[in-house]
Amino acid sequence: MNSKDRSSRGSLAARWVERFFSSNTSEPENKEQLVDLLRQAKNRALFDTDALSMMEGVLQVSDLQVRDIMIPRAQMVVIDKDKALKDILPTAVASGHSRFPVIGEDRAEVVGTLLAKDLLQYFGEKTSKFKLRDILRSAVFVPESKRLDVLLKEFRASRNHMAIVVDEYGAAAGLVTIEDVLEQIVGEIEDEYDFDEGAFIMRRSEHEFTAKAHTTLEDFNEYFSTEYGDDDYETIGGLVLSALGHMPKRGESVVIDNFRFAVLGADSRKIRLLNIERIESVEKAEVIDRAG
């Protein structure tokens, strides 16, 4: 697209916005009224549901803080600073992540960041020369209270893709990535969960699975030989939402019968991705749920 085309499209968009708001008797005085106007425009077929969802996401990003979307410390995939290359590789390969917090004495102490691509130079004859400190990169730290729109600007300016979230005492409370922030606007970005095309549930081990929250109860029942069903919801995300009784944040979990459901991805509007653990007995499930 050339500059003339972009200018023309920009002018059309500006004229459309001007006409839309001039056709309303009063201008929106707050975000709620603005969202209501946008929904009216969608109902008039001025744009589609996806466009409305992204616009709502943009407006909500400024209301969210890092703590609302971060991956909790207990769920971080980390690398111990004293580990040998042979011990690091299985973790890097199994997780599929491109960046890892490197920890000291425990998960609360993050001493740096490891990029998976930096390990490539040690394959072959250079394996014996591996020293993690030689490729350790500085970690970026942000407070739990930082607004997401501010964090996104900082990510773009610094070209960092991951930050360690710290609590008021300076201990690592979790981590957040630029993908986590963008997902609040555009929806789930499935880069770390390699689902086959058309698949909704992926087996990760004998007892653990990853599932898209919009998986229907019918498909879930067929996969796990269960008999879930309710007139109030049709998806596994709806089942979990009903059991929790509120819109969960990432890391929250609930035990339903012989399954433990943990939220891997969610925004202020819906659950997106779930970790599912099959538990051997109801008694064991209750013990794990209390421990969680």
> Do 89 and 114 meet the contact criterion of CB atoms below 8 Å apart?
no
What pLDDT is attached to residue 6?
45
pLDDT at residue 213 above 90?
no
Q: How many angstroms separate the CA atoms of 237 and 261, rounded?
A: 10
pLDDT at residue 39 above 90?
no
- More confidently predicted of 16 and 98: 98
Mean pLDDT of 25-35: 68
> Do 61 and 176 meet the contact criterion of CB atoms below 8 Å apart?
no
pLDDT one-digit tens code per residue, 152-163: 999 999 989 999
What pLDDT is attached to residue 286?
45
> Do 202 and 180 meet the contact criterion of CB atoms below 8 Å apart?
no
CATH number belonging to domain 67-186: 3.10.580.10
pLDDT at residue 118 above 50?
yes
Among candidates 292, 116, 275, which has minimal Cα distance to 205? 275
pLDDT confidence band for 24 (50 / 70 / 90): low
In the chain, domain spans: 3-47, 67-186, 201-291
- Predicted TM-score (pTM) of the model is 0.59
| Torsion sign, CA atoms 103, 104, 108, 109 | negative
| Least confident interval from 163-172, 178-187, 237-246, 258-267 | 178-187
Pair of tokens at residue 148: 């997401």
pLDDT one-digit tens code per residue, 2-23: 545 544 444 545 555 555 555 5
Mean pLDDT of 251-267: 86
Q: Report which secondary-structure segment, H or E, holds 19.
A: helix 3-22
Concatenating the DSSP letter of every residue in 33-93 gives HHHHHHHHHHHTTSS-HHHHHHHHHHHHHTT-BHHHHPEEGGG---EETT--HHHHHHHHH
Q: How many angstroms separate the CA atoms of 268 and 63, rounded?
A: 10
What pLDDT is attached to residue 14?
52
Exposed / middle / buried, residue 255 (Cβ in 10 Å: 0-12, 13-18, 19+): buried
Mean pLDDT of 23-52: 70
pLDDT at residue 34 above 90?
no
Mean pLDDT of 167-195: 77
Mean pLDDT of 100-112: 94
Mean pLDDT of 86-103: 88
Mean pLDDT of 144-151: 92
The per-residue pLDDT of the chain, averaged, comes to 80
pLDDT at residue 123 above 60?
yes
Give the architecture (CATH level 2) of 201-291: 2-Layer Sandwich (3.30)
What pLDDT is attached to residue 281?
56
